[in-house]
Amino acid sequence: MGKTKGKSESKKAEKQVAEEVNDATKLQEEQATVAEETPETDKVTEPATDLVACEELKKKYDELNDSHLRLMAEYDNYRKRTLREKSELLKSGTEGALVNLLPVIDDIERAIQNIRSAESVDAVVEGIDLIYNKFNAYLTRQSIKPIETIGLPFDAETSEAIALIPAPTPEMKGKVIDCVQTGYMLHDKVIRHAKVVVGE
């Protein structure tokens, strides 16, 4: 009976060892499967490979940083150049406008000198008319034109009503009767509103 008991324990021990070996084999197989499925990037890399990757990233960073600094410098230069050109354009535009006004000023100076020694009022009036026409021609060349108002319906976009008076006729109701100060437009923009009297 003792022998049977010993054999039974021996078989149990052998069975337990076999199971442990079987479990160890399964564990090794699972580890091998996991190792095959793990991507290369998840595996621990060697220090030399890390250094190469770090150097490549630093080189790429330096290139991008240099490119960024160059673009910033180019933009700053462009902005300064544009501001300088705009300033010069405004100066030269103003200069051109004033140079064309100088002949009108010369005519006014001559008229003032002649008024003092003029014997005929008609000659003075004729001189003033010539200066006025010359100045109007200059304004027309600059695309400045007077706003027509008298006899037309009142337009708040181009005119400013400074007085309301009874209309002389029923059809003049709501229309401009008199213009106290002429308004002007530059192209399609009002640069000075006309001051008008409107009939009510």
Instruction: Identify whether 157 is part of a domain.
Output: yes
pLDDT, mean of residues 91-102: 80
pLDDT band at 165 (very low <50, low <70, confident <90, very high): very high
What local confidence, expressed as pLDDT, does residue 68 receive? Answer: 94
pLDDT, one tens digit per residue, over 49-93 is: 888 889 899 999 999 999 999 999 999 999 999 999 988 888 777
Note whether 151 and 126 are same-domain residues: no
Note whether 136 and 102 are same-domain residues: yes
Note whether 78 and 107 are same-domain residues: yes
Instruction: Identify whether 50 is part of a domain.
Output: no
pLDDT, one tens digit per residue, over 179-197 is: 999 999 998 899 999 999 9
Tokens of residue 193, six digits: 């509103």
Instruction: Identify whether 62 is part of a domain.
Output: no
Inter-residue contact 175 to 167 (CB < 8 Å): yes
Note whether 105 and 116 are same-domain residues: yes
Q: In the listed set 92, 109, 142, which residue is the last one of a domain according to the structure?
A: 142
Note whether 175 and 158 are same-domain residues: yes
Instruction: Identify whether 85 is part of a domain.
Output: yes
Minimal CA–CA distance to 191: which of 155, 143, 149, 133?
143
Instruction: Identify whether 73 is part of a domain.
Output: yes
Note whether 78 and 136 are same-domain residues: yes
Instruction: Identify whether 81 is part of a domain.
Output: yes
168/50 Cα distance (integer angstroms): 98
Q: In the listed set 123, 142, 161, which residue is the last one of a domain according to the structure?
A: 142
> For the domain that residue 109 is a member of, what is the CATH number?
3.90.20.20
Pairing state between β 159-165 and 194-199? parallel
> For the domain that residue 183 is a member of, what is the CATH number?
2.30.22.10
pLDDT band at 200 (very low <50, low <70, confident <90, very high): confident
How many structural domains are present in the chain?
A: 2
pLDDT, one tens digit per residue, over 109-137 is: 988 888 888 788 888 888 899 999 999 99
**Quick count: other Cβ atoms within 10 Å of Cβ 149?**
24
Note whether 104 and 169 are same-domain residues: no
36/26 Cα distance (integer angstroms): 15
Pairing state between β 176-181 and 159-165? unpaired
> What does the DSSP assignment read for 54-103?
HHHHHHHHHHHHHHHHHHHHHHHHHHHHHHHHHHHHHHHHHHHHHHHHHH
Note whether 165 and 135 are same-domain residues: no
Note whether 149 and 138 are same-domain residues: no
54/100 Cα distance (integer angstroms): 69
Note whether 109 and 158 are same-domain residues: no
Note whether 117 and 161 are same-domain residues: no
pLDDT, mean of residues 23-40: 61
Residue 136: domain span? 67-142
Share of the chain above pLDDT 90, in %: 40
Inter-residue contact 180 to 171 (CB < 8 Å): no
List all residues 6 or more positions away from 87 whose beta carbon is below 8 Å from its beta carbon: none
Strands (E), the chain: 144-146, 159-165, 176-181, 184-186, 189-192, 194-199
Share of the chain above pLDDT 70, in %: 78
Q: In the listed set 142, 169, 184, which residue is the last one of a domain according to the structure?
A: 142
- Which of 5-14, 45-54, 171-180 holds the top average pLDDT? 171-180
Inter-residue contact 162 to 180 (CB < 8 Å): yes
Work out the mean pLDDT of the chain and round it to a whole number. 82
